[in-house]
C-alpha cells in the first residue's frame, strides 16, 4: 500500500483509508460486531493505516468498535475522529451542532477512552458551529495538542473563509469533505484554498455512497434506516438519469480490466497527491477490491477523456436535502 502526506504538519497515512461509519450507522442495521472487527483488521493486514470514525456514529458505538478492533495495532495506525454535535445521551440521538470549548474537551476525553488510545491522531470539527467563533474552536484544539491529547487538527465540510481563520489560529492538517466523480463542487474554491495553505483533503463517499460502483440501479431497495432512502440523488428517477455517468466509468473499467469502484477511486487519487479517499465497506472482498485502486494509473489523456465526457452530464438530485446540508454528520 502506498502512503501519502496529509498537509504540511507531518501526518503520513496509507493512500486509501477506511471509513468505518457504515459498520454501525447510516446504512441500515449495524453490522455484527465480530464481523466488523474482522474487516477492520483485514484492512490493517492489507496495509491500511488510516481509519475514520466519529462519536456521533451510533452514537458512540462506532468509536467503541474501532477502538476494540485496532487495540492490537497501537502505534502502527492513525485514527481520526470528530467532535461538534449535540448528543442526547438518554435516547442516543443527535441533532444540531455544539463546538463550545467545554464540549470539545469532553468529546476528546471520552473518545480517547472509547478508542483505547493515549492521543487522537486527527481531531476534526465535524460541522461548523455558527454560534462559536472558529478561532475559539481552533484555539481549544491547539490547547489539546499542547497537552498531548491530540496530534493534528482537522475540519469537515468547512468553507474557505472558515478554513483560513482556523488555520491562522492552529494549522489545519486536513479537511474532510465529500469528493468524487459526481460530487465536485469543492473544486471551485475549497480545493484551491487548501492547496494554497498546505492542507490535505480526506475524501469521504468517494464511491458516491455505493452508486459509482455500478451495483445500484433504479430497482435497488435500501434497508430501513439507510440514509439513501431520503437522499434526492437516490430516488428512482435520479438513479435512472445518473446511469450515464456509470457508462463512462464502466468503459474505463473494461479497458483497464478493473471494476467500476477501482476506476472511481483511481480518479480521486489522480486529482492531487495530497488527497486520501476513505471508502467504507462491511465486506472483506470489497475492501480488497477498493485497495486495488492504488495500482491503477489513469494517464493524463485518460483523465482528460473522463473530464470531457463527464462535463456533458448533469447529475440529477442534490447530495443531501437542504436541511441535512446544515445538520448532517454523514
Q: Which of 168, 169, 164 is nearest to 192 (CA)?
A: 164
Q: Cα 315 to the chain's mean position, in Å?
A: 21
Instruction: Return the pLDDT at 325.
Output: 73
- Cell 493524463 appears where? 300
What angle, 0 to 180 degrees and rounded to 10, lies between the N-to-C axes of helices 243-256 and 260-271?
90
- β-bridge pairing 85-88 and 172-178: unpaired
What is the structure's pLDDT at 74? 93
78 confidence band (pLDDT: 50, 70, 90): very high
Is the pLDDT score of 327 beyond 70?
no
Q: Counting Cβ atoms within 10 Å, is residue 1 exposed (0-12), middle (13-18) or buried (19+)?
A: middle
Give the rounded percent of residues in the chain with a pLDDT score beyond 70: 98
Cβ–Cβ < 8 Å for 274, 313: no
Cell of 193: 484554498
Helix 160-169 / helix 190-197 crossing angle, nearest 10 deg:
20
CA separation, residue 287 to residues 17, 39, 161, 268 (Å): 10, 8, 36, 17
Q: What is the predicted pLDDT for the residue at 121?
A: 98
Question: The domain containing residue 150 runs over which residues?
Answer: 3-327
Q: What is the CATH number of the domain that holds 27?
A: 3.20.20.100
The pLDDT assigned to 218 comes to 83
b/e code 104-138 from CB counts within 10 Å (16+ = b): bbebbeebbebbbbebbbbbbbbbbbeebebeebb
Number of domains in the chain: 1
Active-site residues, by number, are 57
In degrees to the nearest 10, what's the CA dihedral of 131, 134, 135, 136? Answer: 50
Amino acid at each position: 500500500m502506498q502512503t501519502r502526506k496529509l498537509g504540511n504538519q507531518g501526518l503520513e497515512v496509507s493512500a486509501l483509508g477506511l471509513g468505518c461509519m457504515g459498520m454501525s450507522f447510516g446504512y441500515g442495521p449495524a453490522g455484527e460486531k465480530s464481523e466488523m472487527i474482522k474487516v477492520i483488521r483485514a484492512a490493517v493486514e492489507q496495509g491500511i493505516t488510516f481509519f475514520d470514525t466519529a462519536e456521533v456514529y451510533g452514537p458512540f458505538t462506532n468509536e467503541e468498535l474501532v477502538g476494540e478492533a485496532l487495540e492490537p495495532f497501537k502505534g502502527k495506525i492513525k485514527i481520526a475522529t470528530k467532535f461538534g454535535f449535540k448528543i442526547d445521551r438518554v435516547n442516543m440521538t443527535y441533532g444540531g451542532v455544539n463546538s463550545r470549548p467545554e464540549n470539545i474537551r469532553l468529546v476528546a476525553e471520552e473518545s480517547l477512552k472509547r478508542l483505547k488510545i493515549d492521543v487522537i491522531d486527527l481531531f476534526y470539527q465535524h460541522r461548523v458551529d455558527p454560534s462559536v467563533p472558529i478561532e475559539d474552536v481552533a484555539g481549544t484544539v491547539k490547547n489539546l495538542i499542547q497537552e498531548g491529547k491530540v496530534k493534528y487538527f482537522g475540519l469537515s465540510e468547512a468553507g474557505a473563509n472558515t478554513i483560513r481563520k482556523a488555520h491562522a489560529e492552529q494549522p489545519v492538517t486536513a479537511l474532510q469533505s465529500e469528493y468524487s466523480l459526481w460530487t465536485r463542487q469543492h473544486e471551485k474554491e475549497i480545493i484551491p484554498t487548501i492547496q494554497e495553505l498546505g492542507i490535505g483533503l480526506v475524501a469521504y463517499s468517494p464511491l458516491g455512497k455505493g452508486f459509482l460502483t455500478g451495483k445500484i440501479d433504479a430497482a435497488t431497495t435500501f434497508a430501513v434506516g439507510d440514509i439513501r432512502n431520503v437522499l434526492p440523488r437516490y430516488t428512482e428517477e435520479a438513479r435512472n438519469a445518473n446511469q450515464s455517468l456509470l457508462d463512462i466509468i464502466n468503459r474505463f473499467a473494461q479497458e483497464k480490466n478493473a471494476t467500476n469502484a477501482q476506476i472511481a477511486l483511481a480518479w480521486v487519487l489522480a486529482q492531487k497527491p495530497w488527497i486520501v479517499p476513505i471508502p467504507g465497506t462491511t465486506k472483506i472482498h470489497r475492501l480488497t477490491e477498493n485497495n486495488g485502486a492504488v495500482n491503477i494509473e489513469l494517464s493524463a489523456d485518460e483523465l482528460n477523456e473522463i473530464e470531457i465526457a463527464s462535463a456533458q452530464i448533469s447529475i440529477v438530485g442534490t447530495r443531501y436535502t437542504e436541511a441535512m446540508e446544515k445538520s448532517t454528520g454523514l
